[in-house]
Amino acid sequence: MRSVHSLARRPTSCFEDARRPRDSAADVPPAPVVVTDRLDLLDPYEVAQLGGLELTTRGVVEGFLAGLHRSPFRGFSVEFTEHRPYQPGDELRYLDWRVLARADRLTVKQFEAETNLRAMIVLDTSRSMAWRGAERRLTKLAYAQRLVAALGFVLLRQRDATGLLAFDDTIRAVVPARVRRQQWWSLLATLAALTPGRGTAAEPALRRVTDLLTRRGLVVFVSDLLFDRALALRALQYLRHRGHQVMVFHVMDPAEVDLEGPAEARFEDPETGTGVVVRPREFRQAYGETVRQVVEAWRTACRRNGIAYAHVTTDVPFGHVLRRAVQRRARLG
């Protein structure tokens, strides 16, 4: 049964212009942004106030990578292809010391996977994703957009072909998985243009992924999971049967985890308009137990099918979520 929410607020867009620069040399993921604090460890709402999608994503990813002691996606067979200039945040072990001694300049050995990973990120943009439980908090969709941008940035830095599929009650946008130089800007422009839809049709969206990933790859599913679990699980199982690695990010607002509110409040489903008036204090314990059961049911079902699952609330810094994604990605092999 669909959970109920208070009336959804349409998120205010603070995306900067995501159009691709005219200079073709800038078509790769941009150089790192210099910040005094690691954005990946700051409150997501505060990070969003610092700038648009491109700027903050770069700051989050560079802070995250700077905090790692090793490459986040190890285990792929790689071959040396060329040199490129050193950028802050690059691992020192890839510096070419011979070039430094001979030419007095810092260069990094560029590697390319012998078998490139192909990844599709599937993002839920239904009306329920537009909800937030407090003014100084990102909506679930705004949080998910930034998380998807960061995940895409990390994958593309690894030279993994990365694409995007956004859906509500139908498929709203598709960016095929590629590793071309313009891909970063294509992902940003698509994410920036997304607005909340109405209903949710997760199963057909997930099945569409099989047409987009013609060989084994990685599917990252980002959603609040407010739909029929059995139908969605069948689609996720089908992806696993086709040999794809699957990760699920279950995004919730903290106010959805613990029922709070005045003595009496009206809660409304943002997708159907169905409402109910309740006294939060009387239902708080039962509601909390129901939420825990739902989360555990998703976690158990995913584990049984070899699917990585992460429950994420929108007040968790992006760096923590990226680290969990890296750990789960490593377990998938």
Task: Enumerate the domain spans of the chain.
Answer: 24-70+115-332, 78-113
The CATH number for 24-70+115-332, chosen from 3.40.50.410, 3.60.21.10, 3.40.50.300, 3.40.190.10, is: 3.40.50.410
List Cβ neighbours of 75 (8 Å cut-off, separation of 6 or more): 330, 333
Q: Which of 36-40, 75-79, 207-211, 223-227 comes out lowest in average pLDDT?
A: 75-79
Report pLDDT for 103: 79
Q: Is the pLDDT of residue 153 over 50?
A: yes
User: How confident is residue 116, by pLDDT bands cut at 50, 70 and 90?
Assistant: low
Q: Is the pLDDT of residue 72 over 90?
A: no
Rounded mean pLDDT of 254-270? 84
User: How confident is residue 111, by pLDDT bands cut at 50, 70 and 90?
Assistant: low
Sign of the torsion angle spanned by Cα atoms 172, 198, 234, 293: positive
Rounded mean pLDDT of 263-271? 79
Report pLDDT for 106: 81
User: How confident is residue 265, by pLDDT bands cut at 50, 70 and 90?
Assistant: confident
The Cα 266–Cα 277 span in angstroms is: 4
For 233, the 3-state DSSP assignment is helix
Nearest to 129 by CA among 271, 303, 293, 316: 271
Report pLDDT for 227: 92
Q: Is the pLDDT of residue 177 over 80?
A: yes
Q: Is the pLDDT of residue 330 over 80?
A: no
Rounded mean pLDDT of 229-242? 94
Q: Is the pLDDT of residue 140 over 70?
A: yes
The Cα 217–Cα 179 span in angstroms is: 14
Q: Is the pLDDT of residue 238 over 80?
A: yes
Report pLDDT for 41: 92
The Cα 30–Cα 272 span in angstroms is: 41
Within 10 Å of residue 50's Cβ, how many Cβ atoms?
Answer: 15
DSSP H or E stretch at residue 44: helix 44-48
The Cα 254–Cα 232 span in angstroms is: 23
List Cβ neighbours of 186 (8 Å cut-off, separation of 6 or more): 20, 175
